[in-house]
């Protein structure tokens, strides 16, 4: 069962399951046998049955075996949301390998860094991602030898092949299932090694906890390179539900995502709280279960979205196989939502600085042990030894546990309160980011003497990354130069929205960078910009287009924190993203200008967006 263990006075909390599966493939094979014609996935009005998915993944597996893929062989998968993506992932696992998900939109250098580190036997790609991966593979080859990119559909061509020696029943739970990269504090991303036993346990637990089964429709919202996608894909397929796929352009936070949830009749979705906060208050009668995860969940989101459905707050690092705790939230809950209690297969330990277990109710660092704990980090033995430790337990036993770096406290009802980080790892819009990785890249620029990055809280729903830069005595590098420098190796979600020049970084008496002082500087500059450039209310005039452009320009300046932005500046190049677009669209609507985040991203300058609104209506109100 998936319910947490009964409350006790121990700081160690665990939940177990009596049903043990060594591989999620066993669970999916059972579904194929039980309901072969049921819908495994849907995309753009087309559907894929479990029988056809199993056949397609079998052909991929056979093709991989012909290319010498077997147990523990890493195979990268780079695919947009598609049936090919699912066939490739399952095919790698059925061949005995472990899949490495890659996002083709990442910078070439970052993809090359991952390929050089993981050294996959093959990279499976679609027609949409093949070019980007071939470029990354050529760069990786300089350090690690040739990397072969193979089209997924090439492996699916031969319908007469069959998987050889498929051992679903004998596959060991300790066998590697997937490798997923997370941000690294030293400037180098790290590959987390996850095993089959933990993957199967997570799929069973999540399906039970979130009420997923035949008839459920689960949205695949997360990028393949983030572990939320592991939850979406494997929980859904192991439970015999339908995975609902959609192009990323239709899932932009705000009105686009709300429309997709309604149109696709999604019953179950996992969203970062920042994406959930951007949803307009619409009726979603089909949405039965909503899971907030990936970052801290404000209580206002529970009040807004919990009525009429099951609402959960899920917590867990990648190293614990997606989650470690699950908390059910209701509108009647007081205060900030807790992160709940241990999920099935996870054992929780709250530890003090000396490694001892804290007294009941006292704060400490959360350690997690159990079947879902990762094997460690690929090619990083020292970091593995630092984060995965043998923890003494009450009674003299020990357990291999992962040090999360998160401070928590156990309440009297057994639920855990999240108190923050012990280091400088942060979550922004659901993405796990090591601020040190951004700082290391900035400090590598020849014109930068010192750099620091903080998370700036814009309001109770929105955050952004802000960088503070001290130049190296000579010419001060511009925002465009620094952003371009970072974009060569860092993905878009790790690019600061604002770069602030300083003559020196504020320091604490202990000689460390004073993050609180930097936050005060950022807040003062943001408030100054807001007072100096308030967004004017639109008014009817002979030049409605000019008024509209002024309103949009001021909104961009406020949200992006840059009062130098002009009507021809590109939104993304100025530090914008999908959530900033949703924030601007929401504020613009209050001023009588109606457009979606997707429309802003498709018309990424004030001039182009104003022209779009002018085509809709000759007046200022574009509704």
DSSP-derived letter for residue 399 is E
- Would residue 260 count as lying in a domain? no
Distances (CA, A) of 37 to 31, 40, 507: 10, 9, 64
User: Within this chain, do residues 393 and 457 fall inside the same structural domain, yes or no?
Assistant: no
What is the pLDDT averaged over residues 526-544?
A: 55
Task: Fill in the DSSP letter of residue 161.
Answer: -
What single DSSP character describes residue 357? B
**Looking at the structure, do residues 392 and 460 belong to the same domain, yes or no?**
no
Last residue of a domain, one of 171, 199, 223: 171
Q: Are residues 417 and 430 in the same domain?
A: no
Mean pLDDT of 114-137: 95
Output the domain CATH number for residue 75. Answer: 3.40.50.980
Is the per-residue pLDDT at 595 higher than 50? yes
Please indicate, yes or no, whether residues 569 and 541 belong to a single structural domain of this protein: yes
Question: pLDDT tens-digit profile of 65-99?
Answer: 999 999 999 999 999 999 999 999 999 999 999 99
The lowest-confidence range among 250-264, 298-312, 537-551 is 537-551
Per the listing, tokens 């014109």 go with 447
Residue 512 lies in a domain: yes
| Confidence category of residue 8, pLDDT binned at 50, 70, 90 | very low
Write down the pLDDT at residue 165.
56
**What number of CA atoms fall less than 13 Å from residue 277's CA on the CB side?**
22
**Does residue 531 have a pLDDT over 70?**
no
Do 94 and 132 lie in one domain? The reply is: yes
- List the domain range (segments joined by +) for residue 414: 346-421
Residue 214 lies in a domain: no
Q: What is the CATH number of the domain that holds 551?
A: 1.10.1200.10
**pLDDT, tens digit (0-9, with 9 covering 90-100), for 157-172:** 766 666 665 667 668 8
Say if CB 164 and CB 62 are below 8 A apart.
yes
CATH number for the domain including 396? 2.30.38.10
pLDDT at 9: 29
Q: Tell me, what's the pLDDT at 11?
A: 40
Same-domain status, 522 and 551 = no
Q: Which of 526, 553, 583 is the last residue of a domain?
A: 526
Asked if the structure places residue 231 within a domain, the reply is no
CA atoms within 13 A on the CB side of 68: 4
For the stretch 510-524, pLDDT in tens is 667 888 888 888 888
CATH code for position 458? 3.30.300.30
Q: The pTM is what?
A: 0.82
266 within a domain of the structure (yes/no) = no
Same structural domain, 401 and 461: no
**Residue where a domain terminates, one of 171, 195, 222:** 171
H helix runs in 81-179, sequence order:
83-94, 108-118, 130-144, 152-155
Give per-residue pLDDT as tens, 23-48. 999 999 999 999 999 999 999 999 99
Domain count, the chain: 4
Whether 416 and 431 share a structural domain = no
Is 494 a member of any domain? yes
Task: Give every CB contact of residue 150 below 8 A, 6+ residues apart in sequence.
Answer: 67, 122, 123, 124, 125
Q: How confident is the model at residue 103 (pLDDT cuts 50, 70, 90)?
A: very high
CA 288, CA 327: separation in Å to the nearest integer? 16
Q: Are residues 158 and 52 in the same domain?
A: yes
Assess if residue 251 is contained within a domain: no
SS3 content of the chain, % helix, strand, coil (to 5): 35, 25, 40
C-alpha angle 600/464/302, rounded to 5°?
Answer: 85
Residue 622 has pLDDT above 50, yes or no: no
The dihedrals phi and psi of 204, each to the nearest 5 degrees, come to -65, -45
Q: Give the residue among 472, 372, 488 at the shortest CA–CA distance from 438.
A: 488
**Average pLDDT, rounded, for the chain:** 87
User: Residues 376, 481: one domain?
Assistant: no
- Residues 404 and 448 placed together within one structural domain of the fold: no
Q: Which two tokens stand for residue 336?
A: 């900030």
pLDDT band with cut points at 50, 70 and 90 for residue 402: very high
Token digits of residue 433? 């980011």
Query: 485 and 542 in one domain?
Result: no
Q: State how far the Cα of 509 lies from the Cα of 389, in Å rounded to an integer.
A: 33
Question: Bridge partners of 510?
Answer: none
Bridge partners of 41, per DSSP, are: 48, 243
545 assigned to some structural domain: yes
């Amino acid at each position: 069962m998936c319910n947490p263990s009964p409350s006790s006075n121990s700081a160690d909390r665990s939940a177990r399951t009596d049903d043990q599966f060594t591989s999620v493939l066993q669970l999916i094979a059972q579904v194929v046998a039980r309901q072969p014609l049921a819908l495994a996935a849907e995309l753009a009005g087309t559907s894929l049955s479990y029988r056809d998915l199993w056949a397609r993944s079998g052909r991929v597996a056979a093709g991989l075996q012909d290319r010498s893929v077997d147990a523990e062989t890493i195979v990268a998968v780079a695919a947009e949301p598609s049936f090919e993506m699912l066939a490739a992932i399952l095919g790698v696992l059925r061949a005995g390998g472990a899949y490495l998900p890659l996002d083709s939109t990442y910078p070439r250098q970052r993809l090359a860094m991952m390929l050089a580190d993981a050294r996959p036997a093959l990279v499976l790609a679609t027609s949409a991602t093949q070019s980007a991966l071939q470029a990354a593979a050529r760069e990786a080859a300089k350090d690690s030898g040739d990397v072969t990119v193979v089209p997924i559909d090439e492996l699916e061509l031969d319908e007469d092949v069959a998987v050889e020696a498929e051992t679903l029943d004998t596959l060991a739970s300790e066998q590697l299932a997937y490798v997923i990269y997370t941000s690294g504090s030293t400037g180098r991303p790290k590959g987390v090694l996850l095993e089959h036993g933990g993957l199967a346990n997570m799929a069973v637990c999540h399906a039970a906890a979130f009420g997923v089964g035949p008839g459920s429709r689960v949205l695949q919202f997360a990028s393949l390179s983030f572990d939320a996608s592991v939850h979406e894909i494997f929980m859904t397929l192991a439970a015999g539900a339908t995975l609902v796929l959609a192009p990323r352009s239709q899932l932009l936070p705000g009105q686009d995502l709300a429309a997709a949830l309604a149109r696709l009749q999604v019953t179950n979705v996992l969203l970062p709280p920042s994406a959930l906060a951007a949803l307009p208050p619409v009726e979603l009668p089909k949405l039965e279960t909503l899971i907030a995860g990936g970052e801290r969940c404000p209580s206002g989101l529970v009040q807004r979205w919990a009525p009429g459905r099951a609402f959960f707050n899920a917590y867990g690092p990648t190293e614990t196989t997606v989650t470690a705790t699950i908390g059910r939230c209701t509108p009647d809950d007081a205060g900030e939502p807790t992160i709940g209690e241990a999920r099935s297969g996870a054992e929780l330990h709250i530890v003090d600085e000396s490694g001892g277990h804290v007294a009941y109710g006292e704060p400490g660092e959360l350690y997690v042990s159990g079947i879902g704990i990762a094997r460690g980090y690929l090619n990083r033995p020292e970091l593995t030894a630092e984060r995965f430790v043998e923890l003494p337990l009450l009674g003299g036993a020990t357990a291999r546990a992962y040090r999360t770096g998160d401070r928590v406290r156990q309440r009297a009802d057994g639920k855990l309160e999240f108190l923050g980080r012990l280091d400088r790892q942060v979550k922004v819009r659901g993405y796990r980011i090591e601020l040190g990785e951004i700082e290391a890249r900035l400090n590598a620029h020849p014109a930068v003497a010192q750099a620091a990055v903080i998370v700036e809280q814009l309001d109770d729903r929105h955050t952004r990354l802000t960088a503070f830069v001290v130049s190296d005595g000579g010419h001060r590098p511009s925002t465009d130069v620094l952003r371009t420098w970072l974009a060569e190796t860092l993905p878009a979600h790790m690019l600061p929205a604002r770069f602030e020049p300083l003559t020196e970084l504020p320091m604490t008496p202990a000689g460390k960078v004073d993050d609180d002082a930097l936050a005060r500087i950022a807040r003062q500059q943001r408030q100054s910009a807001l007072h100096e450039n308030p967004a004017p209310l639109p008014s009817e005039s002979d030049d409605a287009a000019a008024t509209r452009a002024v309103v949009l320009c001021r909104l961009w300046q406020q949200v992006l924190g840059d009062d130098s932005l002009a009507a021809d500046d590109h939104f993304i190049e100025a530090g914008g993203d999908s959530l900033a677009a949703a924030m601007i669209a929401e504020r613009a609507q209050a001023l009588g200008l109606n457009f979606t985040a997707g429309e802003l991203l498709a018309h990424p300058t004030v001039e182009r967006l104003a022209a779009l609104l002018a085509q809709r209506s000759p007046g200022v109100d574009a509704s």
